[in-house]
Copies of this chain bind each other. A is one copy, B any other.
């Protein structure tokens, strides 16, 4: 790995053990988070706004609830009543919303302390960001939730909130070597998030490990999602090929390592084959998000086009040519695919695939390819990036556990099984 690594994720569950109800310890942890941001963020560039020290200390001192004392960072695509919110766009430079997004309300109600906002691609689309990968600052952290993934990977915060419309949570989690979780569509409310595509926009969560992210998911959703016991040995389905950009040799090797670790730990792995409708969903995703974004970003496109990136402006130009019939047809194909999804899961508990086609690319010119994520976002499946593996070029490379919609608990448990199996195979928590 590159000399200049800032990779040092901190487990939220470990911090809770350390706090153990002690208000002073809570204050220390908040101070440490701000200190780490001060030290590291000039290099990593994950944050767009940082809360005032006094506000953070006061909030953490008076906090109660299952996240009490834990610092959290929030992607700058969510409204915050006390921190500037710019959606990664100069159009909203200095914009101060009047209220909090619902996910921010849920964080605060459960005792979380919002220490800052994190870098997002412009309106969570594909334009590159300046955030550097904490594992290697010469590379991208991925996108569009660049800053949230990097802030967790660099140990600025134990938890961060992101979003996923294509692959904006799972891909940066894979690139940064942390756990990322995209819940079943609709499990967590997107109210107060700048909308890109109402059919796909989903909250994403980041944490050091799978058990950490499952705990955060349980707290925010009110569902039993935490992985409290050793998960039973699941049956994993591994696709024998993909209708999108193929996996790199690097990602294929990592997946093979994960499969061997799973089998060694007593899990079963079966091959699965995608039907042709899975191919159709690639176009359907593009059609649906294009049609919807041309409406949701209509104000910006119609009144501030010169302030949009070329990438987004050209995307919306193309989107403007789509007719409603094409969109309606894509939505109908999507609904049929959701019904046929059960075939894919016959005889298995979850799917296991690469999280991205490769480890993070070099440079900041691209946030990487979301091909391994988009169809699952469209289908509404829970997805978990499992960290712990490293690629041939020295960067993290994750594997993705994908479940049936609504089976978030089973998916998180299976992901914890994989994480544990990988760690056991390596004989140590992480192959660094």
Which residues of A are interface residues toward B (Cβ below 8 A)?
A: 81, 92, 95, 98-100, 102, 104-106, 108-109, 186, 189-192, 195, 198, 221-223, 292, 295-296, 298-300, 302-303, 323-324, 327-328
Contacts and interface: CB of A to CB of B under 8 A. Distances in A.
Contacts of A198: 186, 189-191
A299 B81 contact: yes
12 contacts: A99-B300, A100-B298, A100-B299, A102-B195, A108-B302, A109-B302, A189-B295, A190-B198, A191-B296, A222-B327, A223-B324, A223-B328
Contacts of A108: 302
Contacts of A95: 98
Number of this chain's copies in the assembly equals 2
A192 to B, nearest CB: 8
Contact of A102 (B92, B221, B296): B296
A92 B98 CA distance: 8
Contacts of A328: 223
In this complex, which of A98, A109, A298, A323 has the most chain B Cβ atoms within 10 angstroms of its Cβ? A298
A324 B222 contact: yes
A109 B298 contact: yes
A8 B296 CA distance: 35
A429 B302 CA distance: 41
A249 B108 CA distance: 50
Given A108-B302, A192-B195, A222-B323, 8 more contacts: A81-B299, A81-B303, A92-B98, A99-B300, A102-B298, A105-B299, A191-B296, A222-B327
A106 B295 contact: yes
A60 B99 CA distance: 34
Contact of A221 (B109, B323, B324): B324
Contacts of A192: 195
Contacts of A100: 298-299
